[in-house]
Amino acid sequence: MTVAGGSVRYQDAVIATHNPLAGLSGMAGATSFQTKLALYTSYVIAGRAPSGAVPDALWWDTSDPYYFLRVEPHRDFDIVIFGGEDHKTGQQNDTEECYRRLEAQLTAIVPDIELTHRWSGQVLETPDGLPYIGPNVEHQYVATGFAGNGLTFGTLAGMMISDAILGVRNPWAELFDPGRKALTRGLWDYLKENVDYPYYLIRDRFAGPDAQSLRAVKRNQGKVIERRGAKVAAYRNKDGAVTLLSAICTHMGCTVGWNTSERTWDCPCHGSRFKPTGEVISGPAEEPLGKVSGLVP
């Protein structure tokens, strides 16, 4: 195996990439496995609150999308962390609105809070709610689908994969087997999550671009425009320089959209994310968005 110009020899490989890469399973196997994973973007805000304003506990509800709250006590104040507003990656037009809704909810609960931080991340869901931990092809192991419970399942994955490599029987191997059939557990969720790909692929073929001209792309902003019959992901940085990329996701051909709060290009079909300049942030895409030449304004 060649990595960064050097050679690596190994007997067993563990793909610890959140959303597994193709690796030894090949594109067909990786694509089949991808149908059993759904990528969601989740949002979090945090701030300082008076000590004792919220009981020191972990709270969550059962709404959809759900909310959670936890407290980190300090000597003179508490850090209150509040999150939720999950949605399928690439399928929310105004991601800033997710933060606004969280802020409104939290300030209603803790009026005296001083908001200081906000961030987002991706969680991977599976049709039956359990992660995939174990071999997906011979000598290659995956651990994914933690649904936000990475501290628990990440530790479990280390134990299980270590046992598998050493040939030690693990009592949970069958329960978390990556090869288990999605159609026998969580059939409705499996079908519901996978309707996105044909829907967005067909919709994008007929939907118009976000804008017709580069003049509509403001600084620190991206939009999908149409140039010479092609959909182009146009980004203008804070200095006014423009980057033009193919708007077609390199995973399976859907059209990416601009994430307003994170300044990324996100794919609505399988959740791949790209930097404004096209590099992959998270898969399943493994190749950057293609460069577009000859279209400089």
Does residue 187 register a pLDDT over 80?
no
**pLDDT value of position 276:** 92
Does residue 4 register a pLDDT over 90?
no
* Record: fold of 200-282: Rieske Iron-sulfur Protein (2.102.10)
Average pLDDT of the chain, as a whole number? 85
**pLDDT value of position 76:** 92
The pTM for the full model equals 0.78
**pLDDT value of position 297:** 47
Burial class (CB in 10 A: 0-12, 13-18, 19+), 145: buried
Decide which of 1.10.530, 3.30.1660, 3.30.70, 1.20.120 is the CATH code for 38-125.
3.30.70
Give the pLDDT confidence of 106-130 residue by residue, as tens digits. 999 999 999 999 999 899 988 888 9
Does residue 239 register a pLDDT over 80?
yes
What are the domain boundaries of the chain?
10-37+127-194, 38-125, 200-282
Average pLDDT in the 196-209 region? 63
Does residue 294 register a pLDDT over 60?
no
Give the pLDDT confidence of 212-229 residue by residue, as tens digits. 777 878 888 888 888 777
Q: How confident is the model at residue 148 (pLDDT cuts 50, 70, 90)?
A: confident
Give the pLDDT confidence of 7-36 residue by residue, as tens digits. 888 889 898 888 877 666 666 677 777 778
